[in-house]
Structure 1
Amino acid sequence: MDYVVGIDIGTTSTKAVLYTLQGDIKGYSNQLYPLYQDTPDMAEEDPDEIFNATVTALTEVVKNADGRVRAVSFSTQQHSLVGLDADHKPLTRVITWADNRSEKQATELGKNGQGLKIYNKTGLPIHPMGPVYKLLWLKKDESQLFNQTKYWVGIKEYVLWRFFHQLKEETSMAATTGLMNIFKMDWDEDILKFVGITRDQLPELVEPTSQLTGLEPKLADQIGIPADTPFVMGATDGALAEIGLGAIGKGEVAVTIGTSGAVRTFIDKPQLDPKGRTYCYPVMDGKWIVGGPVNNGGIVFRWVRDNLFAPEKETAKLLDMDPYDLLTDIAKKIPAGSDGLIFHPFLGGERAPIWNGNARGSFFGLTRTHTRAHMVRAALEGVVFNLYTVQLALQEAVGEPTLITATGGFARSALWRQMLADIFEHPVTIPEAFESGCLGAMTLALISIGEADDMSVVKKFIGKQNTYQPDPTNFKNYRDLLPIYLSVGRKLEGEYDDIAEYQRQHPHPSEE
């Protein structure tokens, strides 16, 4: 039997799934690694820890293959940046999308119009997540490091270098750097000059279905696959999650809520938002992805669990119960709208639709009658409210959705699934298949090795789906709350900057 491995290099872990060519899952591995946050606004990872996790995950799933592995394909977190020396050794850790230290550069270029010029060429919104802004920050604050760096790459490019000693980057990932012109499909010389780097410092651009062969022999032996096994470049985690959900047709919208979250859809040609609220990146075969990512998805639920419900977390352990299930049971007792308690979920700045690295979270409307149960429900609703505002921005560009499909860790919660349908006022389809990014990577691999003509083949692999209908009894509560949610957020824009600067000047002891 022949197999394909889909790998997803994410923010918190690397996952690998072994598939048959018919889409059946025969092996799964999930390898965790830490996020380093030594100082305020920092969010880094160790590139070698990620490489080792990738090798381990791949090795574990290959053990389940009783035949030939035809290809390995990659889905990878966006916006990462790693500086390498002349020998391709890391000079930096992985500066992730969540790193906020280039906030001043993004804000300045947003105000002087340069950021919009970059957006109009690259499709990258003005935000410190973008490697173009990270490079400008390093150039200013870490000039010695900036000047001694020979190559600038993302984490996938570093991993593939370790595998093949070839430095290549596929165009979907390159678009997320803010350095590639999406209309010319090439590194933009004007932007490179503005940043102060050259194309010789960047990987060679290739297509997502391109292959690398000639795996390092020792690694091939360790993993247990032939050295000539093709590795398919793959694409961004966002694009491949969309494919893995089967949301590939016109008007088909995918919502994902993992640690972070996103709302996105495919279109047939590049389309930019005059207000710069949505990104636009190429994928393949005349397909472009447009949408908006949010920083604050499941990480908000984790914050609630660890900081507002620490005793219940321990109780759940004694009951042999998932703490998240216990919290959703508590939240179910509160009516939709949390009796007028609103939560803005900006615990780590925010990307779409406000694109403000200084945004901060808040509860609004607290009264003596509110309880912790109200707070957990309001936190979950706040995440979905924010995703809905992204959907509203997306609708302005591409129209009403014909289908909404959703996935991510949140999909385990029936309460959260129903909440999504209620706030979006639209049926929401949840596939039972998991790891949509790995499935999307597997789909690209099938195209690359000639086993599929296009991405529509994924429809065969998705399997059973459940659809949640919106509950009309909740509409009025949410419709009445949303304008207040939006209004409070707008009124706090100036205060976000002030409180963020205060927090930088007075860091928590653990951040010093």
Structure 2
Amino acid sequence: MTETTDRNETAWLGIDLGTQSVRALAVTADGTVLGRGSAPLGGRREGGRHEQDPGEWWQAVRTASRSALTTLTGVRIGGLAVCGTSGTVLLTDPEGRPTSPALMYDDSRAADRAARLREAGLAVQDTWALPKALWLVGAHGKGRVTHQPDVVTALLVGRPVPTDSSHALKTGYDLLRDTWPDIDLDLPEVVLPGTRLGEVCQAAAEATGIPAGTPVIAGMTDGCAAQIAAGALRHGSWNSVLGTTLVLKGATAEPVLDPTGVVYNHRAPGGTWLPGGASSVGAGALPADADPVAMDERAAAFEPSGTVTYPLVSRGERFPFLAPDATALLLGTPADDADRWAGILQGVGFAERLCLDYLHHLGAPLDGPLTFTGGAARSPYWNQLRADILARPARVPEQPEPALGMAALAVHGVTGVPLPDIAGRMVRIRTLLEPDPARTARFADPYARLIDELTKRGWLPTQVAAHAHSRLH
């Protein structure tokens, strides 16, 4: 949907390359949305395989951008930035053209290569881009290792471009030393997010409707983009992105060190570190054919649920513990479909609490505000339930979209204004949530039971379990 406007002002364009769609948002520096656009994306899933055709990204960007900009008259586009799914990787030729399919963020076919990399001392997870790049070279031959947004930004500026350090992180880039690992791969040049990559070329302008000459700014991963869109950039702030899966990211003065690699650290413009991790639990575990509003209403009768669940969307867990062989856990038998729904909602909340407990175990500061974003933040019931399970206040922004975070990053890249200040002006808080202590107490026992079961199965380290138990009191 777009809004017709005829204003003499500047808008900033954010483009989000998601799993199921591309979304574009045209927004002013004060957070006023002037235009929106989206276009669907396909994909191929089978077992551990999850691929997309990179050619579809550009077609979807063309459609989404034109939709976002089609009714804007008298508005200058000041700049744009693009985010993509973290860990999605492909190979390209010297001209930037794809020579392989894109292995998506949760493709797990390179698990054996990841294990060998860990044996060599690299803290990587099975679905990270580095082992997948090695798998692609083995399957498709040599090529330049390329991240999802790089395909689009190269087409926008008309030539291959450097990658940003945020997307490069899961390909093994060392953000502390600014170096790639010593490995036999054709790896790209790396720049910091917010770096100017070039300007929209004439061919791209004709294809997308974005004016030629518009600055193109290096972006960040979708999780970091959502964090910017939440305004969670002041030290001690955290943003929980709940969509198909769960991503939790915070802002700290120093990186949060975790030798297991469960928690990793992005770096934002200005030197702030963005530690966090990505879990495999999330709304993707909910039945796709159910009416979420109706099911939320019915689920309220089951607090707590008759089941205790750890609702993994796919095999293996990455955060708050590393367990490549973990599978969805269900204790007890649900009374009906509403009880099963309630168990999944609560199970995601328990996983979210365990993520925060693990971060506390590592010494991360948790004293700032918590923000909820992602598709699940559209559910008022689930938002309140999560606040109650976590026993802490939370905020829900008006526009919890990664595309808004990329619009804010574009402002920074063009103007040089500090990113936290830009986000502070752009981000509008829609809802403030306060936890209900009575409901918090209601969920303490099932949370403790889940901790014990995860420990019993050998997935959760005993010292982490003990720390989580201690924080219950």
Q: TM-score, normalised on structure 2?
A: 0.89
Q: Does 1:105 align with 2:113?
A: yes
Task: Pick one of 213, 234, 256 that aligns with 1:271.
Answer: 256
Taking a change above 3 Å as real, the CA distance of residues 328 and 187 of structure 1, as seen in their structure-2 partners, is same
Q: Does 1:150 align with 2:155?
A: no
- Is the 2:36–2:69 Cα contact (8 Å) retained in structure 1? no
Using the TM superposition, give the Cα deviation of residue 106 of structure 1 relative to its aligned residue in structure 2, in angstroms: 2.8
Could you say which residue in structure 1 is the equivalent of 2:160? 166
SS of match in other structure, 1:213: strand
- Is the 1:62–1:223 Cα contact (8 Å) retained in structure 2? no
Runs of 4+ in 1 over 6 A off after TM superposition: none
Taking a change above 3 Å as real, the CA distance of residues 452 and 144 of structure 1, as seen in their structure-2 partners, is closer
Q: Does 1:251 align with 2:227?
A: no
Using the TM superposition, give the Cα deviation of residue 477 of structure 1 relative to its aligned residue in structure 2, in angstroms: 2.7
Residue identity in the other structure for 2:271:
G
Tell me how far apart the structure 2 counterparts of residues 467 and 177 of structure 1 sit (CA, whole Å): 37
Q: CA RMSD in A?
A: 2.0
Tell me how far apart the structure 2 counterparts of residues 439 and 87 of structure 1 sit (CA, whole Å): 30
Residue identity in the other structure for 2:168:
A
Task: Pick one of 208, 223, 226 that aligns with 1:241.
Answer: 226
Using the TM superposition, give the Cα deviation of residue 352 of structure 1 relative to its aligned residue in structure 2, in angstroms: 0.6
Q: Does 1:65 align with 2:72?
A: yes
Tell me how far apart the structure 2 counterparts of residues 457 and 275 of structure 1 sit (CA, whole Å): 34
Q: Does 1:30 align with 2:38?
A: yes
Task: Pick one of 100, 118, 122 that aligns with 1:118.
Answer: 122
SS of match in other structure, 1:398: coil
Write out aligned runs for 1:351-362 (5 A).
351-362=318-329
Task: Pick one of 297, 302, 313 that aligns with 1:347.
Answer: 313
Q: Which has the higher helix share?
A: 1
Tell me how far apart the structure 1 counterparts of residues 164 and 437 of structure 2 sit (CA, whole Å): 45
Tell me how far apart the structure 1 counterparts of residues 297 and 346 of structure 2 sit (CA, whole Å): 15
Residue identity in the other structure for 1:296:
V
- Is the 1:22–1:461 Cα contact (8 Å) retained in structure 2? yes
Using the TM superposition, give the Cα deviation of residue 88 of structure 1 relative to its aligned residue in structure 2, in angstroms: 3.4
| 101-110 or 148-157, larger mean C-alpha shift | 101-110
Tell me how far apart the structure 2 counterparts of residues 62 and 271 of structure 1 sit (CA, whole Å): 40
Write out aligned runs for 1:155-234 (5 A).
155-163=148-156, 164-178=158-172, 180-188=173-181, 190=182, 192=183, 196-197=184-185, 201-234=186-219
Could you say which residue in structure 1 is the equivalent of 2:90? 82
Q: Percent identity?
A: 25
Q: Does 1:405 align with 2:371?
A: yes
- Is the 1:359–1:493 Cα contact (8 Å) retained in structure 2? no
Could you say which residue in structure 2 is the equivalent of 1:461? 426
What does the per-residue CA deviation read over 1:295-325, in whole Å, with 9 as the maximum and x for residues that have no partner? Answer: 2212112xx243xxxxxx4xxxxxxxxx111
Residue identity in the other structure for 1:42:
R
Using the TM superposition, give the Cα deviation of residue 345 of structure 1 relative to its aligned residue in structure 2, in angstroms: 0.8
Could you say which residue in structure 2 is the equivalent of 1:416? 382
Could you say which residue in structure 2 is the equivalent of 1:45? 52
Taking a change above 3 Å as real, the CA distance of residues 412 and 457 of structure 1, as seen in their structure-2 partners, is same
Using the TM superposition, give the Cα deviation of residue 144 of structure 1 relative to its aligned residue in structure 2, in angstroms: 5.2
Write out aligned runs for 1:489-504 (5 A).
489-493=454-458
Using the TM superposition, give the Cα deviation of residue 156 of structure 1 relative to its aligned residue in structure 2, in angstroms: 0.9
Tell me how far apart the structure 1 counterparts of residues 34 and 154 of structure 2 sit (CA, whole Å): 28
Write out aligned runs for 1:376-395 (5 A).
376-395=341-360
- Is the 2:15–2:81 Cα contact (8 Å) retained in structure 1? yes
Residue identity in the other structure for 1:488:
E
Using the TM superposition, give the Cα deviation of residue 277 of structure 1 relative to its aligned residue in structure 2, in angstroms: 2.5
Aligned residues between the structures: 447
Could you say which residue in structure 2 is the equivalent of 1:328? 296
SS of match in other structure, 2:214: coil
Taking a change above 3 Å as real, the CA distance of residues 402 and 454 of structure 1, as seen in their structure-2 partners, is closer
- Is the 1:27–1:61 Cα contact (8 Å) retained in structure 2? yes
Tell me how far apart the structure 2 counterparts of residues 53 and 243 of structure 1 sit (CA, whole Å): 23
Taking a change above 3 Å as real, the CA distance of residues 216 and 400 of structure 1, as seen in their structure-2 partners, is closer
Taking a change above 3 Å as real, the CA distance of residues 59 and 101 of structure 1, as seen in their structure-2 partners, is same
Taking a change above 3 Å as real, the CA distance of residues 130 and 153 of structure 1, as seen in their structure-2 partners, is same
Using the TM superposition, give the Cα deviation of residue 138 of structure 1 relative to its aligned residue in structure 2, in angstroms: 4.1
> Any gaps of 5 or more consecutive residues in structure 2?
1-8, 460-473
Using the TM superposition, give the Cα deviation of residue 153 of structure 1 relative to its aligned residue in structure 2, in angstroms: 0.4
Residue identity in the other structure for 1:333:
A
Could you say which residue in structure 2 is the equivalent of 1:3? 11
Using the TM superposition, give the Cα deviation of residue 86 of structure 1 relative to its aligned residue in structure 2, in angstroms: 4.3
What does the per-residue CA deviation read over 1:82-101, in whole Å, with 9 as the maximum and x for residues that have no partner? Answer: 11234433222110111011
SS of match in other structure, 1:77: coil
Taking a change above 3 Å as real, the CA distance of residues 366 and 268 of structure 1, as seen in their structure-2 partners, is same
Could you say which residue in structure 2 is the equivalent of 1:507? none
